[in-house]
Amino acid sequence: MTRSTIELVPTEKDRRIARHAAAAIVLTVAEAAIPLPLPGVKPGLANIVTLIVLARWGWREAVWVALLRVLAGSLLLGQFLAPGFFLSLSGAIASLVVLGVAMHLPRRWFGPVSHSILAAFAHIGAQLVVARLWLVPHDGVFYLLPVFALAAVVFGLVNGLVAARLLEELHGAAPAASKASATSPER
Amino acid sequence: MSLAPAAWRALLRPGDVLVVLGGLLLCGYSLMVLWQGGRPDAAIVRAGGKVVAEVDLRTARIIDVPGPIGTTRIEIQPGRARVAADPGPRQYCVRQGWLTQAGAVAICAPNEVSLSLSGRGADYDSLNY
């Protein structure tokens, strides 16, 4: 067998992204096992990983992790290129855009909980628009908005709190990137 | 790693509380705007198939409508309307009571009078639901 002439040497950053994406994928698959009352209302546990990556390693890595998670998660669940895949993809892109803006809010006042809730609203917003334009061409989908908005607040709050908690733990355990130095000082 | 409520509260920053409250406000607002469908705007009274009165449901009033066998009395109150009295033998339209949903209809067939509520979001009338 001839040796390949192309050698891909993964950098430390690549490995880090892969590790975080793997954690997010595990959460996605685990979450798929939870029975849910309404299609579309999901805790979005994998976003905890996105929030942590955003806080510790910045927006670009968060984008990688979130999009890899959507892609690999859909492959594992047999949803790739199915309507559900495009809904999660649109939601992920919208929430990443909002996170990119929200991360520049003053850190003294706005923590992971704010990021999480704002991203959750972007998520449902984009999903409803895609669903309205493509899957359910009727204004009836907007009747679900109050339910989705409530879910965004509740799950956004829970995910944000978990992410903030884990960030504290990680901050105590390992020297993080400079961006993480601003996590809440009180313990 | 403690799970005491105070430990979790310490993770919330002032702006986070504002974002939570804002989210809940948006939630309540969308609930009120989107789920109020079916509230009636106006009552339409017909006699012999012709519209004899079309009144809004903001002020209370009583309308007497003459028909072939007598007078049907329609009572309007803010947000609702009913047939208060009818000379018909079986009183179906009277017993229907207050109509409160857009699309609801009370028909007094013997006297050829009908009362219906119109409004945005009237998905069905009460004859076929």
ipTM entry: 0.79
Q: What is the largest CA-CA distance in chain A?
A: 61
pLDDT at position B38, please? 65
Yes or no: say if A111 and A184 are a contact pair by the CB < 8 Å rule. yes
- Give the tokens for residue A158: 């829970």
**pLDDT per position as a tens digit, A112-131:** 999 999 999 999 999 999 99
- The verdict on residue A184 lying in a domain is no
DSSP, res B44 = E
A118 touches chain B (CB under 8 A): yes
Give me chain B's average pLDDT, please: 86
Give me chain A's average pLDDT, please: 87
- The verdict on residue A31 lying in a domain is yes
3-state secondary structure at position A184: coil
More confident residue, A134 or A178: A134
Which residue among B20, B31, B35 places its CB closest to the CB of A117?
A: B20
Q: Which domain holds residue A88?
A: 12-179
- The verdict on residue A60 lying in a domain is yes
3-state secondary structure at position B67: strand
Number of domains forming the structure of chain A: 1
pLDDT at position A176, please? 44
Chain B residues within an 8 Å CB radius of A114: 13, 15-16, 19
Chain A closest-CA separation from residue B77 CA (Å): 29
- The verdict on residue A3 lying in a domain is no
Report the distance separating Cα B43 and Cα B79, nearest Å. Answer: 10
**Would you place residue B25 in the very low, low, confident or very high pLDDT band (cuts 50, 70, 90)?**
very high
Which residue among B1, B8, B30 places its CB closest to the CB of A169?
A: B1
- The verdict on residue A144 lying in a domain is yes
A140 touches chain B (CB under 8 A): no
A114: nearest CA partner in chain B: B16
Report the distance separating Cα A183 and Cα A113, nearest Å. Answer: 12
Interchain CB contacts (distance < 8 Å): A and B: 69
**pLDDT per position as a tens digit, B33-44:** 777 666 788 899
A15 touches chain B (CB under 8 A): no
- The verdict on residue A41 lying in a domain is yes
**pLDDT per position as a tens digit, B64-86:** 999 999 999 999 998 889 999 99
pLDDT at position B35, please? 77
Backbone angles phi, psi at A129, to 5 degrees: -65, -45
Residues 46-105 of A with CB under 8 A from B: 105
The DSSP line for A91-127 is HHHHHHHHHHHHTTS-TTT--HHHHHHHHHHHHHHHH
Residue A150: give its domain's CATH number.
1.10.1760.20
A170: nearest CA partner in chain B: B1
Give the residue from B2, B8, B13 with the most A CB atoms within 10 Å of its CB, the best one to mutate: B13
- The verdict on residue A50 lying in a domain is yes
Residue A183: pLDDT over 50: no
- The verdict on residue A186 lying in a domain is no
